[in-house]
Amino acid sequence: MDPVTHALVGLGMGALSGQALSPYNPLYCAAVLGSLAPDLDVLALLRGRIVFIRHHRGASHSLPGIALLSLAISLILKIDFAADPRLFLPWALAGALAHVLLDCLNSYGTQIWWPFSQKRCAGNLLMFIDPLLFCFFLLPLFFPRQPQQAALAALTLTALYLALRAAMRARAVAVLQEKYALNAATGSLTVLPALQGLASWDFRIQRSRQILLGTLNLYRRSISNCAILKRQERTPLVEKALQSGAGRFFRQLTAHYHFTHWEEKGRLCVRLLDLRFQKQRNFFYRLTFIFNEQFTLEAAFFHALQETIPLELHRGRGTETAGV
C-alpha cells in the first residue's frame, strides 16, 4: 500500500479517540507515525536494491517489529510532549498494526511471523494502490468535528469493501474454472489482484505440461495478456540453482515461480520467474544463473523491472553459489 494511504489510515486510527483533529495532538501523531514506521525498511536501499528487496516487509512488518517501533515512537513523543509514553503506545501500535494488516492483503505479502517464520502472508485481495481505501479514510478530514464517527464509518466501509473484494475473487475463480474446465485433475488455479483496475484479476493455471497466464476483467468477462509457459523437468542443474543462496532468496520472495533452462554458446542457463507481477509479458522479478559444462556457477543476475544486478559468487570447498 502506498504511504499516503497508510498515513490516512493512521489518521483514522487516531480519530477513534474522539479527540479533536490536530497536528499538535500527540495521539494523532502517535497513530500516524505508527502507520508509517514499518516502511522504514526503505533505508535498506542505502545498501543496494537487492538488500532492500530481501528485507522489505520483513522484520519491520512483523509483530515483534511493530511492537518495538511503537515503543520507540512512544518514547520519542514522551520527550516532545512531556507525557506518560503509555498514553501513546496503544495509538502507535494501532497505526502500525493497520499498516501491516493492509500490506498482508495484497499479493506481495509480509513476514508477519518473523523471526519464527520467513513465510510471507499474502491475502491476495487488494492492489498496491487502492483508490477506494484512500477515499474512505479521507472522511475524518472532511468531518473534523465528528472524528470518531467518521473513523468508524471509514472502518465499516473498509470491512464491506474487503468482503466485496473477496466475493469478486471468488466469482473470478468460478468464471475461470468454467471457461477452462478446471478441476483437481486438470490443473490448479491461482487468482491475484491485477496491478491496475478494480475489476481486473491476474490468474495462473498450472497444468502438467504448461502454465497459462492472463488477466480477467470480471466486469467485461474478457481475458487479456495471455501467455503460455512450458513446464520443464526439474534437472540436477535446476535443483542446484534453487538450492543456492540466491535461489532460496527467490523462493522466499515468492511461492509463485517458474523455472526454465537452456544451453547457449557452451553455457548452461537457468532462469527463475516471479509469476505474480507482469506487464506486457515482462515479469518484474527474474533471476538468471549461468553455469559451465562442469555445472560450476560462473555468473548470476537478478532482474528487477528494467534493472539487471550482478550477484556476488561465494566460493568454498570447490563449489560456487550465488548469494544475496
Examine the domain organization and report whether 282 and 137 are in the same domain. no
Examine the domain organization and report whether 87 and 125 are in the same domain. yes
Note the pTM of the prediction, 2 decimals: 0.91
Q: Cβ contacts of residue 232 below 8 Å, gap of 6+?
A: 238, 259, 260, 261
Residues 26, 99: Cα–Cα separation, whole Å = 19
Examine the domain organization and report whether 11 and 123 are in the same domain. yes
- Final residue of a structural domain among 229, 254, 274: 229
- pLDDT score, position 96: 98
- Final residue of a structural domain among 164, 192, 217: 164
Examine the domain organization and report whether 118 and 264 are in the same domain. no
Examine the domain organization and report whether 57 and 130 are in the same domain. yes
Examine the domain organization and report whether 219 and 240 are in the same domain. no
- pLDDT score, position 81: 86
Examine the domain organization and report whether 128 and 53 are in the same domain. yes
pLDDT confidence band for 316 (50 / 70 / 90): low
Examine the domain organization and report whether 69 and 143 are in the same domain. yes
Interval 218-241 mean pLDDT: 93
pLDDT confidence band for 320 (50 / 70 / 90): low
Examine the domain organization and report whether 178 and 316 are in the same domain. no
Percent of the chain scoring above 90 in pLDDT: 80
- pLDDT score, position 321: 67
Examine the domain organization and report whether 46 and 119 are in the same domain. yes
pLDDT digits (tens, 9 = 90+) for 93-141: 999 999 999 999 999 999 999 999 988 999 999 999 999 999 999 999 9
Residues spanned by the domain of 173: 169-229
Count the domains in the chain.
3
Examine the domain organization and report whether 20 and 90 are in the same domain. yes
- pLDDT score, position 315: 62
pLDDT digits (tens, 9 = 90+) for 268-308: 999 999 999 887 668 899 999 999 989 999 999 999 888 89
Residues 224, 125: Cα–Cα separation, whole Å = 20
Interval 202-230 mean pLDDT: 93
pLDDT confidence band for 225 (50 / 70 / 90): confident
pLDDT digits (tens, 9 = 90+) for 12-63: 999 999 999 988 899 999 999 999 999 999 999 999 889 999 899 999 999 9
- Final residue of a structural domain among 119, 146, 164: 164
Report whether pLDDT(230) > 90: yes
- pLDDT score, position 83: 84
Residues 190, 59: Cα–Cα separation, whole Å = 27
Residue 223 backbone phi and psi in degrees, to 5? -120, 135
DSSP per-residue string spanning 73-131: HHHHHHHHH-S-GGGTHHHHHHHHHHHHHHHHTSSS-B-TTTTT--PPB----S-SS-H
Examine the domain organization and report whether 146 and 101 are in the same domain. yes
Interval 197-213 mean pLDDT: 94
